[in-house]
Structures are given as structure tokens and as C-alpha cells.
Amino acid sequence: MNVPADMGRRPRSSRALVLVGIAAVLLAALLIGLGVWQLERLQWKLQLIAEVDARIHAAAVAPPAPPAWAGVTQADDEYRRVAARGHFLNGDESLVEAVTGKGAGFWVMTPFVTDQGFTILVDRGFVPSDRRDPASRSAGQIAGETTVTGLLRISEPGGGFLRANDPAQGRWYSRDVAAIARAHGLADVAPYFIDADAAPNPGGLPVGGLTVVSFPNNHFLYALTWFALAAMVLGGFGYLVHDERRLRRSLADYPADTDGRPAH
């Protein structure tokens, strides 16, 4: 007589199956909850992208004045198009290391005294490493009254990846508004900066309009992953139940001797 290969196995108790089933359902519920949360995050991200896109393409407005500084937030104000009238303090520019599509070099951060009396740091744009000396791009050192148009950005305190800003040595790895202002002894400086737009500067440098607006949006993929894992957990439990039923049917068809071996 042919005896099934799994006849040496003993079926799990009903209690064990119930405990495994409860654990599977709880784990699947957790995974489904994570998937639903990712779908909610997806809706939030799509709304954020739409809001930022609207700010970028809206008509320029005046930058927030001192009374409104406390209310400036990344969620509500970053990438808002602004325009300010005033003059640059070219002698107080700071160079912040940058890597762009144009290669490695520096962002030129220059204080801009507005006609309202307060100061805004303006990222005038990118210069390559061999043009870091202001004397090599003197045509772009705009003097006198001018208008700056660009995107409002939130300060980047601390420094870059694994590199802290060193104000004493004039080494900047992030556009830290407060630290740069302190290093130059500036007062009444806005807690944000402006990324200048692509309007060409005299002499071609700095090159503005290089703001990268990118929001990673993988939430739908993450949701599918969590849902797939939940399906695998439930499917695994379903297979376990099916296997147990098959084993019990086999044992019923081939009753065992008192020593547990199939009877012949």
C-alpha cells in the first residue's frame, strides 16, 4: 500500500491553529493599516505638490516683513514667489558650497537691504569654483537700487551632510541665515532667504533660477507593498489551514497503529 509521505507528521491542535490565526489576523490588520496610512500620505503629498506649484507660478508678492516673521513656515511659505526692492551689500557676500547640474561650485549669498529697512539674504545663484573671487565677476556685482525676484526659502541651519558650517573660516555648507547674518554683523535679517530667479546678471554670473523643487512621492508603491505583505500573511495562514485539513484527512484514511505508524 502507498502511504503518504507526511504520515509521520502530527496535526497541530485546534488551539494552536486558533492562536496562529489570531496572530495572522493581527499582523495583517497592522500591515493593512500601514497601507491605508500610506494612501493618506499620498493624498497629503499630492496636495502639497499642488500648493507648491501654485505658489511657484503665482504673481510675485512682497516678502514677509518683520511683524510676520514669526509666522513664516515651511509648510505655508516655502517656494512662494516674492519680489523686493532695495540694494545689495556686495562686500558681505558668503559662498556656500554647492553641487548643481552645472557642476561643483558655490551659491552666492548676498545681503539685500530692502526699501522697507530690513535685510534679506539672497541666493543670487551659482558660480563655478574658478570664479569664486568677486573680482573675477565684477560685472555681476550690482550696485544701487534694484529689484530681486525669486522664491522664498527656509533657512538651512547647521551645515551639510557630515560637515558643519565653520563661520570663523568662512566655510559654509548650508544656507544658514542666522549664522551667516551673525558672521557679518547684520541686524534685522529675515529668517528666510530668497532664491533669485533666472533673470540674467551682468556678465552672466551668478547664474540664478537653479532652484530644484522635488518631492519624492513613493507612497503608492509603499501602500502596495504593505497590502501585498498583508495578503501574503493571510495567504500563508490559509495554506496552513488547508495543509492541516489535508493531513487530517490522510490520517483518517490511513489509521495509525498504537505506535503512531500507519496501519497496513
Residues of the chain with pLDDT under 70: 1-9, 254-264
Q: What is the pLDDT of residue 252?
A: 76
DSSP state of 8: G
Residue 64 near residue 154 (C-beta atoms within 8 A)? no
* Parallel/antiparallel/unpaired status of strands 146-154 and 159-160: unpaired
| Contact criterion met (CB below 8 Å) for 243 and 3 | no
Strand ranges for 142-230 from DSSP E: 146-154, 159-160, 163-164, 189-196
DSSP letter, residue 82: E
- pTM of this prediction? 0.78
* pLDDT confidence of residue 169: 92
* Residues 6+ away with beta carbon under 8 Å from 169: none
* Sign of the C-alpha dihedral computed for residues 167, 172, 174 and 178 taken in this order: positive
Task: Give kind and range of the element (H or E) at residue 17.
Answer: helix 14-57
